[in-house]
Structure 1
Amino acid sequence: MTTGTTSATPHPVDQYRPLHRMLLFGLQHVLVMAATPISSVFLVSATLGLDTDLTVNLLSAAFLLSGLGSLLQSLGPWKLGARLPFVMLPGGAPLVLFLAIAEQHGPRTATGAVLITGVFYFVVLPLFSRLLRFFPRLVIGTMITIVGVNLVKVGALLVTGEPGTAEFGDPRNLLLGMATIGFTVLLYLVFSGVLRQLAVMLGMAAGTALAFALGAVGTAPGGSGGLLQVPQPLPFGAPEFSLMASLPLLIYSLASMAEATGQTVINAETVGKEVDARRDAPKTIRGDAIVSLSGGVFGLPLMVTSGENIGIVRVTGVRSRFVTVAAGLILILIGFCAPVTGLISTIPSAVVGGTAMVVFGVITVLGVQTLARADLDDHTNTFIAAVALSLGLLPILVPDVYANFPDNARILLESGVAVGAITAAVLNALFHHVRPRLASRRTPTPAAEV
């Protein structure tokens, strides 16, 4: 495939742009994807009942690690990162699994699970290409759909409050959450181009402005009053390690590697660069692994490469990976800037919940889109998806359904993502790998036929 460049002209993905333009385009990437780390940290804080100082510490770490991960993936040193315009974020399935482990066994065990999984990436990586056939679109689409439904529920609880508490159904919180969604929809309807890409962030800003008018905005933490802050490692204390508790994350990591492979190929196609999936996808996965290990030290869920920025590349036509390098530097500055993270921490949970419902609703749609490309006209695939979705959604739709089961069984069964992924993978292997082989053995040879 021709790329339109000569040997003397670097590929557009490797070209520098004027500094002011790279910073401007980098800021655009940050504004579009910033809702994800903010929503993720607020979900962790609200679910685990963390105080303001600890929330600010996690928020600072999330921006810092997102920035470092974006630099690593974009620059690609030492075969860590594919040298493509990627950004890295916490969130998605790793966030759901982290919260599930933290709620059942405590945040120290959840931190230990992240660290175990980060090491597991490196151990399994040499074998992952052989395992990819067990995680086709049917399995990944099922998993992403369950993740999206679970995240929408978690975001909704930030708006409604937990059932049975005094805050449940507070009219003001419901107003803020629904208004934030309404602002986002209105802005997406009215704007086009870059501003449309910023509709989520602008919707959150509008929801926060309404909260300010209603007197629902909190105050920023006092702290030392300085301009700089450094996130503290091990904010929950020394990690505790449990292989059984880590199992859902370990299972997810296999599908994550398949997803990272697809992200690498899609990103390369977007910028018009030829890549070898077997050679370049492992670089992306190594970047995910090393940043996840670092994130675990700072109390964060697994960090993953994000596809959100690929849409920006398509809209702007700016393919340079140094734009996401600029985005990474901006994220790092935000992480170290105490006033910025302190200000972000004052956003009401209901506003963040409304934003999260939109952002994570998109994940559900992506899961459905992936399933739509899994040949559901094949009744076998429809059957597999139906069973996996039913079992995976059960603990999400009916909480505590496994409350009377032994603790070790509950660890796995109460993780809808893990149950759905395992069910889809096992059924896919049985119907598409085992059954055809058995059928071929039973089929008589032509010589035996009359």
Structure 2
Amino acid sequence: MTNEKTTADPVDERLPWTRLALLGLQHVLVVAASPITSVFLVAKALGLPETLIVNLIGATFLVCGLGTLLQSFGVGKFGARLPFVMVPGGAPVIMFVLIARQTDLPTAAGAVILTSLFYFAVLPVFARCLKFFPRVVIGTMLILVAVNLIKIYGSIIVGRVGTPGFAEPLNIGLAVATIAFTVGFAKILRGIGGQLAVLLGLLAGAVLSAVLGVMPLGGVAHGALLSLPRPLPFGWPHFNLAATVPLLIFSVISMAEATGQTVAIAEVVGKEIDIRDQVPRTIRGDALMSLLGGIFGTSLIITSSENIGIVQATGVRSRYVTAAAGVFLVIIALCAPLARLASAIPAPVVGGTALIVFAIIGVMGVNLLRGVELREHANMYILAAALTMGLLPILVPGLYSKFPSSLQVVLGNGLAMGAMTAVLVNILFHHLRRYRAASPSLASEAKKAS
């Protein structure tokens, strides 16, 4: 009986409440910038009133919290039962704004709802294509995810070119200090302290910001205590299929990304999975939460890459930790002062924390590629072609700016281009009949790698 308990999957480990709460809070503080930033981006772009902004922040945290609980525990065929946290997708937020500008907010909300239903419609077809995502494809995707997210959060730290605060030394210093604090705690502390290095680094960066007078806390205590998000904040949604096309295209990219994330997190927690069962569970969770998000006025809510890096960094693999994070996210959604406190943490501090977490995701991608024979002709070209097409739009902004806007949605997305290239070149080398006779099979390659 004792042996059965000790050999149980670490992903199912139930930790003491205190440790569970601290580790869950760490996940929340690292990803909290995403829901807040997404709402502020929409609000600033569309000129939303303050009351609507507060409602949307609460709604976003609420859906993210419920989605995190769903992915952590699983209900029926929904949710991966893996340590996932859910957040608003960055690209969908931008698309949401563009749709709202071209049409109106009810149409943008309707586009999110239509896209979430599209997930369910396409999933059976997509599930049959999972054989086209071997380790070389997944590893490449994780590296591109890391590079893309590092660029995004690096821009949050330094600001936009031409703005008054661009490349402000204080902001860069705060980000570097936060990274240094995190690495220092990881080096010095042991046990639970070392596992909380990311959280402690973020808190140390926040304290430093407060000492330097760049973390205003005066507004935290002012305002309502409870925030109850209301559904349909823009009124009854309008459904316009033509306006929804960019989000429909992204949903396919998102399914590919969810595939990589599911394989990656399973690898990190040491859980053997059947990707034809587990990946659809993750995607159904994304679809259901995106549907709920559309009802509450958010963009697509999807599984987060950020927390995979945290799981890798802490070595704590229990899905109950992310479940605790989900509870915290729901509490923040309902408790307005906590949302205001989270939003008071300076962007450079959150950005510095995010940079090191995202870099760990890249390391995970490298680790996956270690199991691939890269001296083998096919794998070498799969990786080279995918990195070329994936890094170009990330490193050369505006590369496809002269192309039609409908194509820019895909071409300008480095992760999408890299993933599609990896899949297509993998099919070219490993799945086309005329090449199969001259190339080792995937099964023999996997056996050789193991």
Q: What range describes the TM-score normalised by the shorter chain of this pair?
A: 0.7 to 0.9
One-letter amino acid of the structure 2 residue matched with residue 167 of structure 1? G
Distance in 2 between the 1:250 and 1:145 partners? 20
Q: Which amino acid aligns with 2:301?
A: L
2:86 is matched with 89
What is aligned with 1:302?
301
> Which one of 9, 26, 29 corresponds to residue 23 of structure 2?
29
State the match for 2:215 in structure 1: 217
Distance of aligned partners of 1:213 and 1:224 in 2 relative to their CA distance in 1, 3 Å threshold: closer
C-alpha deviation, 1:438, in angstroms: 7.2
Report the CA distance shift for 1:64/1:382 in structure 2 as closer, same or farther (over 3 A).
same
Q: Which residue of 2 aligns with 1:381?
A: 379
SS at match of 2:213: coil
1:155 deviation in Å? 0.7
1:156-198 CA distances to partner (integer Å, 9 max, x unpaired)? 1121111122211112212222211221121122112222222
Separation (CA, whole Å) in 2 of partners of 1:3 and 1:120: 46
Matched, 1:253 2:254: yes
Q: Runs of 5+ in structure 2 lacking a partner?
A: 439-450
Question: 1:46·1:158 contact (CA, 8 Å) conserved in 2?
Answer: no
Q: Contact (CA 8 Å) 2:393, 2:411: kept in 1 or not?
A: yes
For 1:347 and 1:176, locate their aligned partners in 2 and report how far apart those are by CA, in whole Å. 11
Per-residue CA deviations over 1:96-134 (Å, capped at 9, x if unaligned) read x32553565558587666544432332233334421112
**Aligned pairs for 1:311-322 within 5 A:** 315=316
- 1:227 maps to 225
| Residues 429, 435 of structure 2: 8 Å contact kept | no
Whole-Å Cα distance in 2 between the matches of residues 216 and 285 of structure 1? 40
Residue among 35, 38, 55 paired with 1:41: 35
CA distance in 1, matches of 2:416, 2:12: 42
Matched residue type, 2:246: A
1:227-257 deviations in Å (ceiling 9; x for gaps): 2112344667757653431254222233245
Partners of 1:3 and 1:296 in 2: CA distance: 47
Deviation, 1:294, is 1.9
**Correspondence 1:150 to 2:148:** yes
Q: Secondary structure at the match of 1:345?
A: helix
Contact 2:158 2:171 in 1 (8 A): yes
Cα distance, 1:232–1:361 mapped onto 2, change above 3 Å = farther
Provide the TM-score with structure 2 as the length reference.
0.79
Residue 263 of structure 2 aligns with which residue? Answer: 262
Counterpart in the other structure of 1:413: 411
Separation of aligned partners in 2, 1:124 and 1:68: 24
The answer (yes or no) to whether the contact 2:30–2:353 under 8 Å persists in 1 is no
Deviations 1:395-428 (A, max 9, x none): 2211112222222222221111111111111111
Aligned length: 424
SS at structure 2 position matched to 1:303: strand
The 5 A counterparts of 1:6-405 are: 22-44=16-38, 50=44, 57-81=55-79, 84=81, 86-90=83-87, 94-95=89-90, 97-102=91-96, 105=99, 114-219=112-217, 221=219, 225-233=223-231, 238=237, 242-259=243-260, 262=263, 266=267, 269-270=270-271, 278-279=276-277, 282-298=280-296, 299-304=298-303, 307=308, 315=316, 325-405=323-403
Q: Is the 8 A contact 1:260 1:285 kept in 2?
A: no
- Over 3 Å counting, the alpha-carbon distance change for 1:185 and 1:268 in structure 2 is closer
**Alignment-derived partner of residue 444 in structure 1:** none
After superposition, the C-alpha distances for 1:283-338 in whole angstroms (9 at most, x for unaligned) are 4442332123223444144321754675599648xx6x666555433332232111
1:341: Cα distance to partner? Answer: 0.9
SS in 2 for 1:399: coil
Q: Aligned residue for 2:444?
A: none
Q: 2 CA distance for matches of 1:207 and 1:324?
A: 23
| Deviation at residue 87 of structure 1 after TM alignment | 3.9
- What TM-score, normalized by structure 1, do the two folds share? 0.79
The alpha-carbon distance between structure 1 residues 5 and 381, as it changes in their structure 2 partners (threshold 3 A), is closer
Q: What SS class does the counterpart of residue 348 from structure 2 fall into?
A: helix
- CA distance in structure 2 between the aligned counterparts of 1:268 and 1:201, rounded to whole angstroms: 20
Letter matched to residue 386 of structure 1: A
Structure number with greater Rg is 1
CA gap 1:257/1:400 in 2 versus in 1, 3 angstroms:
closer
Gaps of 5+ in 1: 441-450
Taking a change above 3 Å as real, the CA distance of residues 72 and 393 of structure 1, as seen in their structure-2 partners, is same
Tell me the alpha carbon deviations over residues 347-367 of structure 1, each in whole angstroms, 9 at most, x when there is no partner.
Answer: 112222212212222222223
3-state SS, counterpart of residue 256 of structure 2: helix
SS in 2 for 1:405: coil
2:86 aligned counterpart, secondary structure: strand
Overall identity of the aligned pairs, in %? 39
Deviation at 1:80, TM superposition (A): 2.5
Supply the AA of the counterpart residue of 1:360. Answer: F
Preserved CA contact (<8 Å) 1:26 1:325: no
Q: Distance in 2 between matches of 1:111 and 1:357?
A: 31
Do the aligned partners of residues 367 and 295 (structure 1) sit closer, same or farther apart at CA in structure 2, a change above 3 Å counting?
farther
| CA spacing shift, 1:197–1:265, aligned 2, 3 Å | closer
- Contact 2:82-2:266 within 8 A present in 1 as well: no
The amino acid of 2:79's aligned partner reads: G
Q: Is the 8 A contact 1:35 1:355 kept in 2?
A: no
- RMSD over aligned Cα, in angstroms? 3.8
